[in-house]
Amino acid sequence: MAFVLTFLGKGGTGRTTLAIAAAKQLAAQGQRVLFISQDGSPALSLLLGTEVGTEPQSIAPNLSGVQLRSTVLLEQNWEELKKLEAQYLRSPFFKAVYGQELGILPGMDDALALDAIRRYENSGSYDTIVLDGKGDQSTLRMLGTPEIASWYVRRFRQVFADSDLGKAISPFVQPVAAAVLNVNWSGDLFSQPEANQMNNLLEQGKAVVNNPNRMAAFLVTTEAADALATAQYLWGGAQQIGLTIAGVLLNQSNATETIASQFAPLSISAIPTRSADWQPLIAALPNLTQAAQAPQPIRIDVAEGKIYLFLPGFDKKQIKLTQYGLEVTIEAGDQRRNIALPPELRGRQVTGAKFQEGYLIISL
């Protein structure tokens, strides 16, 4: 398992440059680093001074690089899908469709990229993965996919089971499945080993994103007002998916008291302008693997009956709190987070909430 490090910020603030510097720093420390770029343009090869392909290749001692291209990833995943289809279906129907003819639909890029990151992270070949993604809200949605997808599974599983349709077709699941599939399925569709495998995969993804020892992000900004506002907004959005923000990289600017107060209690590192020599940039970077010391996105105090949600960059007018059943839903930054209550607090209703020093404190 590898530690995944990514960077968030407004376009043009130097995210890619600092991601490369971070990869170089970690590789120089002896870590096996994979630099992953979602940018398929030639700009990356120009910055690195070497060509980067669609398969990991060595670009420096301890440092490998790869460019994710959706068409290549789609072909690879389609072939895997066809193998699964042949394994489970008596009469496969995708065998006449070929990956080379498939087009990319909206949303496929991030889904394919997330799966590729998962495979590289689990490969055991790397100590650290530096992800040079889009660095905006779409990156947060991509990394938050396991959280959201697992909610859809558990929510609609119950909705289907309680519906008249679910009750009506339940007796026919086993005979129909036996006629169509090479494996025996019976009872609850969602409790089959294959379904449980998917649920476990989603839980593993959530565990990675929510663990600061497995994944973290740095905010990248300049002193420009729009860049600072975007960084603050993304900071709050990262909390909604449980991603730890480890610090702020203030590019080509010097930290002021005003800027420091905007991102307190995060540490701010002033980064000099890049020249032909990468060393000054690398030396200015903080310790990139100490994310566990940063404020954690959520804390649930069972004894107090309170949920502490760190939501910097927002005020109480921008946050909406609702509760349906056993979960509490928080809406902020055009994102929703459903918080499943621990067993000790299940069944309790929200009795109050207040916004204090960046924290939304929910009482149950």
Q: Single out the residue of 299, 296, 243, 266 nearest to residue 131, CA to CA.
A: 243
Q: What is the pLDDT of residue 103?
A: 81
Q: Could you give the domains of the chain? A: 3-72+101-148+206-289 (3.40.50.300), 298-363 (2.60.40.790)
Count Cβ atoms below 10 Å from residue 304 Cβ, excluding itself: 11
Q: What is the pLDDT of residue 133?
A: 92
CA separation for the pair 364, 348 (Å, rounded): 6
CA separation for the pair 209, 286 (Å, rounded): 21
CA separation for the pair 364, 354 (Å, rounded): 12
Q: What is the pLDDT of residue 269?
A: 92
Q: What is the pLDDT of residue 197?
A: 66
What confidence tens digit (pLDDT) does each residue in 280-301 have? 999 999 999 887 777 788 889 9
Contact 354, 333 (CB under 8 A): no
CA separation for the pair 309, 131 (Å, rounded): 26
CA separation for the pair 149, 145 (Å, rounded): 6
Q: What is the pLDDT of residue 124?
A: 92
As averages over each run of 10 residues, the pLDDT of the chain (364 residues) reads 94 93 96 92 82 90 92 80 63 70 82 90 94 92 87 73 61 51 53 61 84 94 94 90 93 85 90 86 90 82 90 83 85 83 87 86 91
Q: What is the pLDDT of residue 168?
A: 60
Phi, psi for residue 129 in degrees, rounded to 5: -115, 125
Output the CA torsion 67→71→76→78 (10° steps).
150
Q: What is the pLDDT of residue 180?
A: 46
Burial of 327 (0-12, 13-18, 19+ CB in 10 A): middle
